[in-house]
Structures are given as structure tokens and as C-alpha cells.
Structure 1
Amino acid sequence: MKTLEQAHQEFNYDQLVQEQLVGQPNAVNAYIECCQRYVGLQKTALIWEGKNGESEQWSFEQLDVASAQLANYFKSSGIQVGDCIAGLLPRTPELLITILATWRIGAIYQPLFTAFESKAIEHRVLTANTKLIVTNAEQRPKLNHVEVKHILTVNAGTNLTSNEADFWQEAEQHSDQCEAVLRSFDDDFLMMFTSGTTGLAKSVPVPLKAVLAFKGYMQHAVDLREDDS
């Protein structure tokens, strides 16, 4: 049996990257790894079922188009590489599109739990210096007193504030072509937060190198396989 030291010496990190990812440690993008690499294979990427019986299927090709349009909206709103974009959304197709669009432009995705109330959201947004929040009509009232430069709302309706826009109206006005911004493994792509059970929640930035660990977990712990739905 090999010792831990022997196993460590034999571990080839560069080989692992080549086997698992399209990109390299100094030229990687989470959108490419999670979506673009599968475009053209005509595979189902998402099967969504809503709480009221709705059902949708999205291919990688459809997610590629929608995330490009949303990414171009983000850029038109002044979002820069390394900025934080938060999603205050339930598990809908718009949530996945938001995440992919954020990563596509080299920005950092910040999840906001829909059970949070305004104060918890405000603390996390201020701490992360979040530039834009994507939400829906149900969650939107929680942001009434949260200072953020841009709010993008799914099914926003007609009562829009000066810093607010409708998700699909804006996305569909933009090009479906958007080149992914390459980053390094040490650059952050997620902005998580601690629970805050013993004090205020603290930010936990996650670097792109974690993509390897996430993929390994899905393969070996969850046992996700290529033919799974």
C-alpha cells in the first residue's frame, strides 16, 4: 500500500487538469467548462419542473444563446471582470442562465438564499460590493431598501424603478454572441458566505481551481454519469 507521501509525489496536477477540463490553470472559464464545451452535441442540459406543474427542457445550445444575451446586458450595464453579480432567485432556468452569464464575462456569482430577509441580503450585498442583483417579482420587495446599482427582475411588470429592468426584455435586445473571458485558477468565481450563526456572516470567496473538486464530487460521491437525466 502506498503511503500518503508517495501518492502525493506521484500525483500529476497538470495531467489531471488536461483530463478533466477544457481550459488550463491560467486560461479557464467556468462557463466554458459547464456549458460551452457541450454546445453542438445536442444534449439536454436542464429539465425544470415548477411548483405549479410547469415543465421546460433546455439544451446546452439554448443556454449558450440565453447566457450570451444576458452577459451582453451585464456588460452594457458597466459590469467588469471580477465584479459581483447576485442571484436572488428560486431554482428556475433564469437562475442557471444568470450564473452562466456571470461566469462568461469573468464576473463572480453570489448566491442569495430566497429564505433571507432584507437585512441578511443587505449585509451580504454591502460586504461583497455587489453591482447587480437578479431576482423575480416574488422576491423583489426584499430589495426595496437595499442599495445596489442595478436590479434585473424576471417578470418585472410595469412599476420599474430607475435602476431596474425586466430580465427577458433586456436580454432579448442583446446579441447572442459573447466570447468568454479567460481567467486563472486563482481568480474567484463564487462569493459564498458563512451562516452567521455566531455573528455577522463573513464572505468566503471561492477560486476557479475548486471546479476540479466540484467535478470530482459529482462523479465519485454523487455518482453522476453521462447518461443520467
Structure 2
Amino acid sequence: MLLDKYLPRIEFDSYEDFKENYRVNIPEDFNFGFDIIDEWAKQEPEKKALVWCDDHGEERTFTFTDISLLSNQAANYFLSLGIKKGTVVMMILRRRWEYWICAVALHKIGAILIPGSLQLTKKDLIYRGNSAKIHTMICINDDYVIEQVEQAQASVPTIVNKIVVNGERAGWRSFQDEVSGFSTEFARPTGEAGTKASDTMLVYFTSGTTGEPKMIQHNYTHPLGHIVTAKYWHQVQENKLHMSVSDSGWAKFGWGKIYGQWICGAVQFVYDMDKFIPTKLLQKIQDYKLTTFCAPPTMYRFMLQEDVASYDLSSVENFTTAGEPLNPEVFNRWKELTGKEIREGFGQTEGTVLIANFPWITPKPGSTGKPSPLYDITLQREEDGTPAADNEHGVLVMQNLKKAWPTGLFVGYYNNPEMTEEVLGGGSYCPHDVFERDTDGYYWFVGRNDDVIKCSGYRIGPFEVESALIEHPAVLECAITAAPDPIRGQVVKATVVLTKGYTPSPELTKELQNHVKHTTAPYKYPRIIEYVDELPKTLGGKIKRAQIRKEDEAAQK
């Protein structure tokens, strides 16, 4: 078991024991490709690593030996193209199995990997390409993706290689055709060519509330930070199938589909779906007898619109969720239908899981759980930085970074030392998320700082209003935002997607408003309700509240 090498203790008696005594050993030259993938292949050559399938009848199973040899081959191929330690490579591969091969190969070389979403436009790619000085693009054979990259290339002079996966394209190198001729032997680089734990491994572009996306920089210790994510939140089991639903362009992929899970020896189950269809996902969970499963709350909500009880989900021992707050109504209905709780977790692109419902914690519906032992987390009053009391709004702060840098936390902003100093130089990090902590030590998400609504002197968190609304049978999902108001400054607005059988009407609007008044404090009810067919979302399933706010502000002008 590889965990023994990195954790002085694996088993804990209680959450308090876990919080107080969890530690990670970090070798100076830790490299996920050599120390995890190759080591598993050496210890257990036939150990399963990845089970992959898609919507077109394709299925592939890979052992750690397969991943080791194929990544060696890819590493030799990439070296032949001028990719070396520090070279920046962007991959847009959705959930293709080649992602795992290429990512491990790039980690072995010491190249810097930037995952990218299928939704990136020409403009997005030009900005990313020039900001990070991207050298190579590795992309799925998708018309939209190929077109955007080709249109952007003329404006990004650093791009030397364009590699297409799963097919051929004029002007592109074919990964399948070209990689096969290279050796499956790849010696671990030493000296200046070798990687140190402190070298940059991964860069994520993440959107803030203002300005262009920022480049979040992780070093080679980042995978070790995800042991907590996989072992103690997802509760993966060695040699058992784990599924996290995420596209490879998002940090959630790193959270749930590669690093911590493979360190723990779990088998990645990957369903490369063309489109999310709830019944198909339920069928996969049943047919492959998954042991652990993680998906955004949105997916649980849509699965609950189907006949969940008709699927045999009994193999799943632990359901988890992140990406958006989990409404109590969804938690309760899922437990009623499956007998299992959904353990919510919270975190960011900048780190690993920050707060979660760990094994020793009995989940409270609607609560995110308790802090990870990796982080010294506190809540502070926004106005003066003093500690927030129990049941009081406070911004989340990770403190004492200079005393001990948390394993897995980002180390700065790539190519931007000024912003790194501004955000991290004081020895703490504030991601601007607002929470409340109850008297039992459970944390409750209120909203992003910019999502909190200030109406007539009240501060209203969107999540509590959304949770009240979603209890009504007419509401499939909703987003609560602040809408401009000439008298109150801001008022609460609900953008609502209705369940089947309901249609918008003034009577329904009044009914929903009254429902919120009776479910939560009356002043929190939505004065405006807009009905839509679907909410704007990222590929990862997060609701784009900022987009709704911007559209409302533009409509006022």
C-alpha cells in the first residue's frame, strides 16, 4: 500500500484525532508519474487503474503497468517535439482516456500542464496562450475545439505543436499515429532535468469576479494534498471503482479522477458521455457496480427527476458532492430513495478539499461539514478581520501559512509575483467565501462575497433562499441573485427552472413567494421571479450567477 510511504498514520479514531494528528511526508523530489504510477506497476503489475467507456460502445481497461508504459512512450514522443522541463502544454481532451496517459507523461518530463475546457473560444485561447506562453496544444478531435485553436494560433506565436487525439486533421499531428513508434522505456530524469517537489506541475485558469482569468499555480506536492480528498472524503477503496463526474478541463478532475484516487490504489471509472442524460448515468452506476461516486448537486437534482428507486445503486458505499451547495431537500430525497447520505465537500481550484463531511461526522442536511486537517481555517468578520462568533457570517480564511504551507494549496499566480505577494504575502489566504459555523463546529455555506445580497439593511445569503425554493415541488432548480432596485438598492431575484407539469403564472409566482416567506425569514423572499428553460452553467455544473447579475444590470441601463 503506497499510502504507508506518505502518511505516518492512516487510521484515526475520531474527527478530532484526524484534525489534530493527520500529517503528510513529502519527499524532496516527489513526482506523481514515477512515485505513484510506476511504483504501483512495480509492486502489482496487474493492478487495475482505469476503466473507460463512452456512448458509442467503446470500452477500455488499463492496468498501472499499461499507464506506466504508455506514459513512457508518450514522454519520449513529447521530448522529440521539443517539450522538456518547464515547457507549457495545454490539453483539451474532455474525458478521453488519452488524458491520463498524456498528463502522466508530462508530469514525468517536468512540463507544465494546463487543462482546458471544451467551451474555450478563440478569444479565450489567445489570452491563455499568450499569458502562459503555451508551446503545445493537445486536443480532442472535435470540430469546435479544432476551429477555435486554428483561429487563435496566428495570434499566439509561442504555439509550436498542435496534436490531435482520436483521429486525424490536416495541419495537426496525430497522437495515435506518431506515438506508437517510440520506446516504452523512460528513465527518471536527474540533475537539472529532474523535478523537485517545489517545481511547477500544473496551472489552472480560474475566473475571478473582476479582470481576466488568473493562473493558479500548483507544484509537485499538489497530488499528495488530494489524499484527504480521496481517502477521507470520497472514501475510495483500493481496487474498487470510483467515479467523479467532471470534464478534464476543470480542477474537479484533479480532485476526483486522477491524483488522490490513484495514490490510494482505487480504480478510476470514467464515462466519457457526449451529454449528461440522468438515466444513462444511473445505468452506468448500476451496471459497473461502483463503490464510490461524486457528482455536482445539479446532477443529483436531475437524477431525482427520474425513477431512482428502479436502479440498483446498492454497490455504492459513499456518495459525495461539491461544486455548488447541496440543498437539504436533495440530501433528504436521495437518502430516502437510496438509504445513503450524500457527503458534501467544499474547496477551490486553489487547493484541495477545505471543508467536508469526513467519515467520523454525521452529516447535517445543508452543511458542508468541518475543516480539513491540512488547513488552519477560521471565519473572520468582513469589516474588521476579527474572529466571527458561532452562527455569525464570516469570510473563510486560511491562516498561519508561513508556519506550515498546506500540502496541495496553490503556491501563487503563474508569471505574476506581484499578485502572489498581494494575495499570499501576508501569511494567510482569503478566498472570499462567506460561511457560518454552528455551535457543533459544522460550517454552512452562505455565498461568495459578491453573491451575498444587501437589501434594505439585511444581508441575505443566496443558498438559504435557493434551499427554501427547491423544497417546492414546482422548482427543479433555481439561482438566487441580487437585482438592482431604485429604492432598496438590491432585491432578491429568483431565476427558476420548473419541473415537468408546471407552467409559469402570476399565481405560481405568488405561491413560490409565500412558500419562501413561510420556510425562511419573510424578508428573504424573492421579489422578482423569472422563469427560464435552463440556468447558465459551466461545464462543471456550477450556476453562473455573475452572468445573471450582469444581464440584469445591462437591462437596467
Please give the TM-score of this superposition, normalised by the length of structure 2: 0.36
Counterpart-to-counterpart distance in 1, 2:135 and 2:36: 24
Counterpart-to-counterpart distance in 1, 2:60 and 2:196: 34
- Out of 98, 101, 111, the position equivalent to 1:107 is 111
- Out of 204, 207, 225, the position equivalent to 2:237 is 225
Counterpart-to-counterpart distance in 2, 1:96 and 1:135: 13
Who is 1:183 aligned against?
A: 195
Letter of the 2:148 counterpart: K
**1:23-38 → structure 2 map (5 Å cutoff):** 24-25=27-28, 27-38=29-40
- Out of 159, 162, 175, the position equivalent to 1:167 is 175
Who is 2:162 aligned against?
A: 151
Greater shift in the superposed pair: 95-104 or 45-54: 45-54
Q: Deviations over 1:57-113 (max 9, x none)?
A: 111111112111111111111112011111111111111111011101111111001
Matched positions, count: 213
Give structure 1 stretches of 5+ with no counterpart.
none
Deviation, 1:196, is 4.5
Counterpart-to-counterpart distance in 2, 1:34 and 1:43: 12
Counterpart-to-counterpart distance in 1, 2:57 and 2:120: 25
Letter of the 1:160 counterpart: A
Does the CA contact (< 8 Å) of 2:48 and 2:239 recur in 1? no
Q: Deviations over 1:97-139 (max 9, x none)?
A: 1101110111111100112222212211221111111112203
Does the CA contact (< 8 Å) of 2:71 and 2:104 recur in 1? yes
SS where residue 58 of structure 1 aligns?
A: strand
- Out of 43, 49, 52, the position equivalent to 1:45 is 49
Letter of the 2:152 counterpart: V
Q: Deviations over 1:168-227 (max 9, x none)?
A: 111101111112334222111111111244221111110112222112211111111213
Counterpart-to-counterpart distance in 2, 1:208 and 1:53: 36
SS where residue 39 of structure 1 aligns?
A: helix
Deviation, 1:145, is 2.0
- Out of 134, 147, 150, the position equivalent to 1:141 is 147
Q: Which structure has the higher relative contact order (CA within 8 Å, separation 6+)?
A: 1
Counterpart-to-counterpart distance in 1, 2:54 and 2:36: 23
- Out of 55, 70, 73, the position equivalent to 2:77 is 73
Does the CA contact (< 8 Å) of 1:28 and 1:184 recur in 2? yes
SS where residue 62 of structure 2 aligns?
A: strand
Letter of the 1:108 counterpart: I
- The reply on whether 1:98 has 2:110 as its aligned counterpart is no
Q: CA RMSD in A?
A: 2.3
Does the CA contact (< 8 Å) of 1:106 and 1:180 recur in 2? no
SS where residue 35 of structure 1 aligns?
A: helix
SS where residue 98 of structure 1 aligns?
A: helix
SS where residue 47 of structure 1 aligns?
A: strand
Counterpart-to-counterpart distance in 2, 1:30 and 1:82: 16
SS where residue 145 of structure 1 aligns?
A: helix
- Out of 192, 201, 207, the position equivalent to 2:219 is 207
SS where residue 70 of structure 2 aligns?
A: helix
Deviation, 1:142, is 1.8
SS where residue 84 of structure 2 aligns?
A: coil
Does the CA contact (< 8 Å) of 1:89 and 1:134 recur in 2? yes
Counterpart-to-counterpart distance in 1, 2:90 and 2:146: 13
Does the CA contact (< 8 Å) of 2:47 and 2:239 recur in 1? no
SS where residue 176 of structure 2 aligns?
A: helix
Does the CA contact (< 8 Å) of 1:35 and 1:64 recur in 2? yes
Counterpart-to-counterpart distance in 1, 2:94 and 2:218: 22
Does the CA contact (< 8 Å) of 1:133 and 1:151 recur in 2? yes
Give structure 2 stretches of 5+ with no counterpart.
1-15, 154-158, 242-557
Identity percentage over the alignment? Answer: 23
Counterpart-to-counterpart distance in 2, 1:142 and 1:180: 36
Q: CA distance change for structure 1 residues 216 and 155 in 2, over 3 Å: closer, same or farther?
A: same
Counterpart-to-counterpart distance in 2, 1:60 and 1:179: 17
Greater shift in the superposed pair: 94-103 or 111-120: 111-120
